[in-house]
Structure 1
Amino acid sequence: MRLYGVTGWKNAGKTGLMERLVSEISARGLRVSTVKHAHHDTDIDQPGRDSHRHREAGAREVMLATPHRWALMHELRGADEPPLAELLQRLSPVDLVLVEGYKGAPHPKIEAHRQETGKPLLATRNDTIRAVAADSAVETTLPCFDLDDTAAIADFILREVGA
């Protein structure tokens, strides 16, 4: 499975870039899936819903199925968060998996960078970052792209993964 990441500091434009890349690469005829890592507690379920009640009752996994989508929620119940490699095994085969977050994981990444965050480039300390997509000039020896030049960023990623 081909894998490429988008990383960066909070409010650096990661999610917007991910959204545009999924749209761009899908429009080119490739099948794309995504993995989004969150450091905070996030719940896609709603209190009071039947599926939420099942989880609250102690179910380890709850699958919610509708005519339009299905979702599998897995409760860790005190267990460690699984590593990215283990989570990727649960995905159906696709042409490319784009990963948002997981700064320290070993897969190749592009860093989204916005000057307004006031944060330094992660690329100076992370050798898994292969390029930077920024809203202003940055000092790096890595390939640089305008944060909004989705087509050029997609071209770069697809060359990197051999697609």
Structure 2
Amino acid sequence: MKVYGVTGWKNNGKTGLMERLVAEITARGLTVSTIKHAHHGVDVDQPGTDSYRHRAAGASEVVLASAGRVAIMQELRGAAEPPLADLLARLSPVDLVLAEGYKRERHPKIEAHRHAAGTQLIAPGDQTIRAVASDTPLDLDRPVLDLDDTAAIADFILAELDL
């Protein structure tokens, strides 16, 4: 599977760009999966549900299955966070996996940048960032794309990956 990342600092538009890219690329007939890295604790389950109770009782993995969706929750219980490569290996085959976050991983990425966020660019020190999607002009040694031009950003990513 081909992997491309969307990275950047908090409040720079990563999630919105991811959402728009998934819609744009799937509308073109390609299959897309996503992986989102979070730096804080997350729980997609709700206290009191049966699946939550299974995990709280000590289950290592809980599969929640219905006619419309399957969710697999794995408890690390002190084990190290799995690397991106291990998570990718768990996914069903698709044309493209978009990974949000994962700044330190070595896959190609596009950096989301909003001037109003006031954060430093990551791109100047990271050659895995192949372009920057920004709401302001930038002088860089790689392409700068309009953060709101989803079609152009999708074109760039798909061309990079020969998709």
- What's the TM-score, normalizing by structure 1? 0.99
- Counterpart for residue 83 of structure 1: 83
- Counterpart for residue 139 of structure 1: 139
- Counterpart for residue 155 of structure 1: 155
- The 3-state SS of whatever aligns with 1:89 is helix
Tell me which amino acid in the other structure corresponds to 1:5: G
1:107-146 to structure 2, matched below 5 A, reads 107-146=107-146
Q: CA shift at 1:133, angstroms?
A: 0.2
Q: Is residue 63 of structure 1 aligned with residue 63 of structure 2?
A: yes
Q: CA shift at 1:125, angstroms?
A: 1.3
Q: CA shift at 1:67, angstroms?
A: 1.2
Taking only the aligned residue pairs, the percentage that are identical comes to 68
CA distance in 1, matches of 2:122, 2:149: 20
- Unaligned stretches of 5+ in structure 2? none
Tell me which amino acid in the other structure corresponds to 2:25: I
CA distance in 2, matches of 1:44, 1:26: 25
Q: CA shift at 1:139, angstroms?
A: 2.1
- The 3-state SS of whatever aligns with 1:33 is strand
CA distance in 2, matches of 1:104, 1:52: 32
- The 3-state SS of whatever aligns with 2:11 is coil
Q: Pairwise CA RMSD of aligned residues?
A: 0.5
CA distance in 2, matches of 1:55, 1:40: 19
**Runs of 4+ in structure 1 displaced over 6 angstroms?**
none
* CA deviation vs aligned residue, 1:74-126 (integer Å, no higher than 9, x gap): 00010000100000000000000000000000000000000111111100111
| Count of aligned pairs | 163
CA distance in 1, matches of 2:68, 2:107: 32
* CA deviation vs aligned residue, 1:15-55 (integer Å, no higher than 9, x gap): 00000000000000000000000000010000000000000
- Counterpart for residue 28 of structure 1: 28
- The 3-state SS of whatever aligns with 1:55 is helix
- What's the TM-score, normalizing by structure 2? 0.99
CA distance in 2, matches of 1:111, 1:43: 27
1:47-58 to structure 2, matched below 5 A, reads 47-58=47-58
- Unaligned stretches of 5+ in structure 1? none
